[in-house]
Every structure is written in structure tokens, then in C-alpha cells.
Amino acid sequence: MRKIIFISFVFLLTKINAQQDFILYHMPSIPQITQVDPASMPDSKLDIGLPIISSVYGSIFNTGFSIGDIFYQNADGIMMPDVDNAIAKMSSENFFILNGSTDLMFVGFKAGNNFFSFNVSEKLDFTFNYPRDLIVLAMEGNGNRLLGKRASLDGLGFDFTHWREYAIHWVHDVHHKFSYGARLKYLYGMENFTTDVSYMGIETDQNTHALKFDMAFDFRTSGLPQVMVDGDIPAIGGLNTNDSIAMQQSGFSEGYINNYLFNRKNRGLGIDLGFNYHVSDKLLLEASVLDLGFINWNSYTANSKLEAWNYEYDGISNPISIFGDGSSVDFLKEVLEDSIEEDLKNNYSYSNESYSTALRTKIYASMEYIVDHNNFISLSLYSSFVRNRWRRGMGIAYNYHLGNFLSATASYSIYNRSYSNVGFGLSLNLGPVEIYCLTDNVLAFGTLNPRDNFLSDAASSINIDTKKVRNGQIHFGLNLTFGRDKKEKPIDEEDENRAQSVSSSSEKSNESSSQSNTPKRTNYNSKGSSDKNQKSKKTKNSKSSYNTKTEKKKNTRKGELKTKVEQSAPKSSTVRKVSRKL
């Protein structure tokens, strides 16, 4: 069976996903922050994302080693692989991950204490899972450090998902004290490659060089072309490319693209939840749970499964090697084809049943200290539930706002076993046009010139950090935002004193007026006074007294002015995550 090795090694799959966006979580001036913090309330009244370019995201992660771990500069200045160092840096299970997404549409608007948005996003995830022993086997063969041990290839494989998301989002603000939000998502799946079981090992006896194999796999696909083994055994994929009707229905034939974009029967639901709470004027707590949901795969599905299988062969006298001395992999293929072909066939099965996959749930938690309305310091924690375990990350950030014109964030984060992640984000508002660009790791751009950044003199600290880079990420876009509050003129610092001065002056004036117009007590023993004169004086003095009281009240209202204590900053300087009334 000539393609057995192809099946066993290439299609042993696993699943993991690691899309995080630390820097966006700390950029409240960008409308797309609601995609990682559903409880965030924008300060603009209307946000429109331009198709495709409003939010473009891409990331690459390698948890096993950095580029600087696998290369060194020899005496002639030539880059050479450093296998021992690379292997020493790896864990037993490692991942190479690619993520990408773009917003095809984004619209958000505010209505009172509520914010509503709608987005359509195209998303793509690819993960290659490689055990450390795979690299050892490739570079050294099954001799040397693997001799007499089981070379574990458990988990070897990759996971791939392409889907579209239609989402409706709502945020409600409660008295500027706390806010909560939710995003309900309809998911349209296009292609998927996932694994339920991935298990394989090779052990070489250190005395006889006899080989022991153990293997089991169970992987599922949807929307992928069918691959045949030995001409009649389907290996992967459920789409028969030789069937013209099936190609038209799947949308892969010219003129039938709409069948691919809209008519596949792979549907799912998801939800994002968020909550923000102001503990005090200075402290804000935030939490969000993203991607709770699933996709049901029904179109062009295939399930390839090999039951648990063990085999022992003692006919090889030399170690197997790919690059070094010893028996070649081609010889091993011949041995397997001749010795275990029928055994594998009897344990292998293929079917076209439907299946479901869960979204990779992510959790964010953040504590933000509000220095003032233009400066913020944040601490964030991140977790992603993958393969029955939590993968964690942490980041700190400083965010600065210059009115409504500029927002900038600098961050440092730890994730994917990487400690060299220095992020930077910038958002500019040019009238209604908002342009932003973010990255979780600016050091990753140094990898674009490996000779200068990996092999130059280590005296430069930037080069040292660049050698340790394992991750790269970028997120940029262009939005139209309307209805941001214009900056109000702050109240003069002397207003309070002026109010007191005016009030005091007014009271003195009223006192004087009251004293000059105070009626004298009637002397009933005085014979020179007539009733008429007394009545006239009393009436006059009474009017004067009333006028004095009215004047006093009027002057008091004039001098009573609002002070800066009632509002810590102009309303216009507040931003999304900060209460407008602190």
C-alpha cells in the first residue's frame, strides 16, 4: 500500500486555536473593540466600517522555538541550523498557528444608553501541531537519543477552519456605573479539517533494531476535495472532483461561485458576553467570554478512521534516517507496504457522516486604573480552552488620549511560551475618518531581515530581543465615525472664588440696604406723631423691606456658580471604557 505513510503522517490531526488581540483590548477609541470587549460603549454616535479594510487581522505563532533558536553564525558568517538548541527549546507538544480575519461590513450606532452594531466577518484559522520527537526523528533518525525509546508522534497533524460570521451586538449602559453587552452570531462554515483522535508511536529496539508501531487516528473534513489512495481507497475529503454536478453544487465550477459563498449547509451559532463595572472613579473592572458556540458540518463531509493498531517488525538491521546514515525512509515504506498493507486496510474505515465542532472559547479579564481622562493603565489576563486544557496569557498596557484626535497604546504581553512581545497601537481621527494600526509585537518586524537582525553583533539589544521572537501580529483598518462630542471649554479655576466673592459682596450690599431701610419702632408715647404719618411710614418701609429681600435672593442666585468638583472633566474628553460622569 504505497500511500500508507502519507495517510499516517500527514492526516493525523489535532485541534488548537490561539487568536488573541491584546492590543485591541486596550484601544477604546476603536469601534472594533466591541469584538473583544462586548460591554464597551463607544463615544461616537455612528460608526461605519469600510468593506474589507475596516478591520484586517493577521497573526502567526510558533510555540516551539524562535528563529534565533535554530540558527547560528559560523566562522564564515553563514547561517547554520542549530538542531540541539532548537530541540532543547521545544516542549513535548508544539504548535505553529496562522489566524486571519476581515470585516466585510460593520455598522454601529448609539440610541440613548444603548449601542447596537452589526458586522459580517470572514475568518480563517490554521494550526500545525508537531511533537518534539518528530523533529528529532527528522534530524537524527530513530537512532541516537531515540534508540530504545518510543518516538511519540501523538498529536501530529493540523487543523483548518474557514467560516463567515454574521453578528448582532447590543450594549446597555446603566447610570454610567456599569455596562453589559452581548453579541449573537450566526456562523456559516465553508471548510473544516479537524481531529478527534491522533495517536502514533515508533520504538526501535536498541539491540536488534526491531520496530514496533502503534497507531490510531480519527479525523473529519468538510468541503475539501476527495483524495484517493491506490486509486480506489478514499483517504480524505468528501467532494468528488470528477463529478461535474457536485462541482457545480459546491461552487467550484465557473459561474457557480454563489453556491460556495452562500449555499453550503454548514451552520452554527455563537455568542459573546461582556460586563464592565466602575468600582470607583479610578478603577474599572472588565470581563468578557467570547466564542461560545458550535458549527454543524453537513456539506461534502468525510470521516477517516483507523482503529487502534499495533505491529512489530524485526527485519531492519540499521536505524532509519532521513538525512543521516542508516536505512532510508523509502526502505521503511517498502517494508510497510509488503508487511502490513492488509492489516491496515482491515482497521481503516471511511464514511460521509455529518459532525459538529465547537468554537474555541476565549476569556478576557482586565483591571484598568484611570489616572485621568487621558491616561489609563491596564492589566489583562487571557485564557483559551484548547484540547481540554487552558492556555493562558497576560498583558499590561498604557493608553494615552489626546482629545478625540489621537489614541496610542504601548503594551507588554506573555503568551504562547513567548516573553518577547512588545506591542504598540495608534489610532488617528481626521474628521470623520479614523485610521488605526496595532501590533502585539513590534519586534516581529525585525524577522523580515534575518541577516541583520539575527546574525549581527549581539551588542545591540534590539537584535537580542528579535532573536527570541516567536509571534507576529498586525491589525489595521479604516472607519468612518460621526457624532463624537466636541471638547468643551473647561470651567475657569477662579470661578469658585469669584462665586464666593460675588455672593459675599451681594450679601454686604443687602445688609447695608436692609439697615438703611429698617423701620423705627413706633413710639406710642410720642404725641407729635399722627396716625397718618405712621401708616405712611409703615407702608413705605414695608415695600422697601420686600424689595430688599427680593434683591437679596436675586443677587444670591447670580453668585451661585457650579464648581469643577461636580464633574471631574468635560464630558467630551471621556472615552468608551470610562464613565462620562465620574
Residue with cell 524577522: 447
Q: What is the DSSP letter of 489?
A: P
Helix/strand/coil (H, E, C) string of 145-212? HHCCCEEECCCCEEEEEEEEEEEEEEEEEECCCEEEEEEEEEEEEEEEEEEEEEEEEEEECCCCCCEE
Query: Taking the CA atoms of the chain, what radius of gyration do you get in angstroms?
Result: 36
Nearest-angstrom CA–CA distance, 45 and 26: 21
Question: pLDDT band at 139, cuts 50/70/90?
Answer: confident
Nearest-angstrom CA–CA distance, 234 and 220: 13
> Is 110 within 8 Å of 136 (Cβ atoms)?
no
pLDDT over threshold 80, residue 27: yes
What is the pLDDT, as a whole number, of residue 486?
64
pLDDT over threshold 60, residue 512: no
Mean residue pLDDT across the chain: 77
What is the pLDDT, as a whole number, of residue 293?
94
> Is 106 within 8 Å of 47 (Cβ atoms)?
yes
Question: pLDDT band at 546, cuts 50/70/90?
Answer: very low
Question: pLDDT band at 335, cuts 50/70/90?
Answer: low
Strand 227-229 to 79-81 pairing:
unpaired
* pTM metric for this prediction: 0.74
What is the pLDDT, as a whole number, of residue 527?
46
Question: pLDDT band at 383, cuts 50/70/90?
Answer: confident
What is the pLDDT, as a whole number, of residue 208?
75
What is the pLDDT, as a whole number, of residue 406?
92
Pick 117 or 316 by higher pLDDT.
Answer: 117
What is the pLDDT, as a whole number, of residue 416?
65
Question: pLDDT band at 136, cuts 50/70/90?
Answer: confident
Question: pLDDT band at 318, cuts 50/70/90?
Answer: low
pLDDT over threshold 60, residue 524: no
Give the whole-number percent of the chain exceeding pLDDT 90: 36
Mean pLDDT value across residues 268-274: 97
CA atoms within 13 A on the CB side of 576: 27
Look at residue 257 and give its three-state secondary structure. helix
pLDDT over threshold 70, residue 410: yes
